[in-house]
């Protein structure tokens, strides 16, 4: 993707010069997290870049859509950083939750949650914590935070608002042809 959206909670800026970045998926700087090959970044207020990178992976593992780019998952979890900046309890919930997840990954022989290579193995870790407050806070926020982003609706085929186009009366409300 070369045309990032300018959604709420995100700061659009020229970030990375190709060739200076690592080849990993995420580059953690100080105070922001940027994608290695895409021109977007999350400006962080409270959480560390490593924590946010783990949250983004966790979000994708909870609602994995292979055609939905990382930046949409980043937008979907950015609210936790905003909340953490104002609420120490929430900051601790997130940071302790990630630390716990990393510890479980290490117990399973991986370097970290992010360093766990296969989705099925990361999901197994999430299953261990799915009834807990940390997991439910992340999952619950994603239901609206991810799926209510208009930019991803076309990926699902959903066309959104129709009134301005006169509805579907002349635009295929009954065009099914395969029955």
Partner 1 sequence: MAAPYDLSDATVVVVIGTGAGGGTLANELAQKGIDVVALEAGGRYLPEDYLNDEWPSFGQLAWLDARTTSGNWRVATDFSGLPAWIVKAVGGSTVHWAGASLRLQEHEFRVLSEYGAIEGANLMDWPLTLAEMEPWYDKAEDKMGTTRTNGIPGLPGNNNFKVMKAGADALGYKNCHTGRMSINSQPRHGRPACGQLGFCFQGCKFGAKWSTAYVDIPAGEATGKLEVREHAHVLTIEHDASGKVSGVVYADKDGNHQRQAARAVCVAGNSIESPRLLLNSASSMFPDGLANSSGQVGRNYMRHMTGSVYAIFDKPVRMWRGTTMAGIITDEAGNDPNRGFVGGYEMETLSIGVPFMAAFLDPGGWGREFSSAMDGYENMAGMWLVGEDMPQEGNGITLHPEVKDQYGLPAPNVHFDDHPNDTAMRNHAYTQGSAVYDAVGAVRTLPTPPYPSTHNLGTNRMSAKAADGVVDKHGQAHDIANLFISDGSQFTTGGAENPTLTIVALAIRQADHIARQMAAGAI
Count of residues interacting with partner 1 (CB under 8 A): 35
- Residues in 57-76 at the binding interface with partner 1, rule: CB under 8 A: 61-65, 67
Question: Which run of H or E residues covers position 101?
Answer: helix 88-107
Q: For the stretch 85-109, what's the b/e string if a residue is b when 16 or more beta carbons lie within 10 angstroms of its beta carbon?
A: eeeeebbebbbebbebbbebbeeee
- Residues in 75-104 at the binding interface with partner 1, rule: CB under 8 A: none
Closest to partner 1 by CB, 24 or 148: 148
Compute the CA torsion angle 95, 98, 100, 106 (nearest 10 deg). -140
Pair 103, 88: CB distance under 8 Å: no
Distances (CA, A) of 110 to 7, 49, 104, 122, 163: 34, 20, 9, 10, 51
Contact stretch for partner 1 (CB under 8 A) within 3-11, 24-32, 38-46, 165-173? 165-173
Does 31 sit near partner 1 (CB under 8 A)?
no
The single residue among 3, 20, 22, 163 that binds partner 1, judged by CB under 8 A, is 163
Does 173 sit near partner 1 (CB under 8 A)?
yes
Residue ranges that bind partner 1, judged by CB under 8 A:
61-65, 67, 123, 130, 139, 143-144, 146-148, 153, 156-163, 166-169, 171-176, 178-179
């Amino acid at each position: 993707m070369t045309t990032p959206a300018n959604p709420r909670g995100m700061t659009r800026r020229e970030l990375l010069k190709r060739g200076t970045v690592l080849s990993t998926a995420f580059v953690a700087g100080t105070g922001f997290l940027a994608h290695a090959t895409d021109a977007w970044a999350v400006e962080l207020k409270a959480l560390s870049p490593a924590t946010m990178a783990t949250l983004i992976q966790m979000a994708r593992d909870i609602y994995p859509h292979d055609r939905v780019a990382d930046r949409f998952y980043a937008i979907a979890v950015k609210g936790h950083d905003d909340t953490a900046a104002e609420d120490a309890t929430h900051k601790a919930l997130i940071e302790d939750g990630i630390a716990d997840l990393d510890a479980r990954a290490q117990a399973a022989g991986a370097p970290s949650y992010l360093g766990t290579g296969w989705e099925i193995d990361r999901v197994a870790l999430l299953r261990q914590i799915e009834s807990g407050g940390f997991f439910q806070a992340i999952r619950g926020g994603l239901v609206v935070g991810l799926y209510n982003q208009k930019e991803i609706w076309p990926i699902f085929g959903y066309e959104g608002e129709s009134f301005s186009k006169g509805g579907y009366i002349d635009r295929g409300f009954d065009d099914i042809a395969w029955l």
